[in-house]
Amino acid sequence: MHRVIPLFFALLFFFVADISAAIDATEATPKVPKPEITVKYGQTYVERESGPLKADVYMPATPGPHPGVIVVHGGAWYMGTRAQLTGIAQRLAREGFTAVAISYRFAPKHKFPAQIEDCKAAVRWMREQAETWKIDPNRIGGFGYSAGAQLVTLLGTSDAADGLEDPAADNSVSTRLQAVAGGGTPSDFRLIPLDNSWLAFWLGGTRRDQPEQYRRASPVVYASEDDPPMFLFHGENDQLVPLDSAQHLVDSLTNVGVPAEIYVAPKLGHNVTVFDRESLNKSLAFLKKELRPGALPAQATP
């Protein structure tokens, strides 16, 4: 992360604007009509003091139950919309997943761990409402890009003992994922220079001021043998989130025996890798493999 540059947030403003249409454009032209899907917009998955948080649910036409995927947008933890990854959510539904694209609270008003608490609330809601949304509660994965990838990989590596659960929630319902796919993943904020203030708006100060916050927000810190398989993709020329960040997480997982791999998109930078057809195809193939019936233990554990 030491090569992350101060233009990160300004560039991400332009990055998030037209992401949905661009992702749709990455899909190959189908030779047969696209399967029908059902979309339920604006479903409340949790109530916060600041107001309800919403999700859009994309479901296959077939009866189910289907594997579920929580879809988490990027935007540097302070901006963006769940509509950014509409194309991905639609494609997941056409391929047999129930995709749940969520909104979450933003910094600086809501600092970490508010964002991961919201993601965990969404996974809990997916399990509690599994019958309504045609989800198999024992087969739930995650997809995210950039800040969204940090959140889904943190969902993957953290568990109830790590102190990131909402204390007001019913934590008897598991928030663990069974597979994670993420792109442009920042995984270790402990590498941020001590007095750099780029993330102070989100983590409450510099790393010198708030070392524990920087540690807690780092998915790599929690890597352990019971984590789910992960597939990461990253642009070879990413100047915002260095490739080393994602590779560090993959190495940490493989070192403890967790299946993890990374695909490097040749010559691509941060803002365009999310549109890369090969990266998205590989992510979808990974989720299909890991969330297929029979690929998982019978019970999701907290």
Q: What are phi and psi of 294, to 5 degrees?
A: 90, -10
pLDDT at 91 over 90: yes
Report, as an integer, the average pLDDT of 209-235. Answer: 98
Q: What is the DSSP letter of 35?
A: P
Stretch (H or E) spanning 280: helix 277-291
Across 161-170, 230-239, 277-286, least confident range: 161-170
Report, as an integer, the average pLDDT of 33-46. Answer: 91
Cα–Cα distance for residue pair 91/109, rounded to 1 Å: 33
Q: Are 280 and 24 in contact (CB under 8 A)?
A: no
Backbone region of residue 231 per phi and psi (left: phi > 0; alpha: psi in -120 to 50; beta: other values) = beta
Q: Are 70 and 110 in contact (CB under 8 A)?
A: no
pLDDT per residue as tens digits for the range 101-157: 999 999 999 999 999 999 999 999 999 999 999 999 999 999 999 999 999 999 999
How far is C-alpha 83 from the chain's CA centre? 14
Instruction: Provide the pLDDT confidence category of residue 33 given band limits of 50, 70 and 90.
Output: low
pLDDT at 299 over 50: no
Q: What are the tokens at 171?
A: 């934590």
Q: Are 45 and 102 in contact (CB under 8 A)?
A: yes
Tell which CATH architecture fits domain 8-291: 3-Layer(aba) Sandwich (3.40)
**What is the pLDDT, as a whole number, of residue 171?**
85
Give the pTM. Answer: 0.89
Cα–Cα distance for residue pair 8/172, rounded to 1 Å: 38
Length in residues, the chain: 302
Cβ neighbours, 10 Å, residue 199: 26
Measured distance between the N- and C-terminal CA atoms of the chain, rounded to whole angstroms:
30
Report, as an integer, the average pLDDT of 272-281. Answer: 96
Instruction: Provide the pLDDT confidence category of residue 170 given band limits of 50, 70 and 90.
Output: confident
Q: Which amino acid is at 103?
A: S
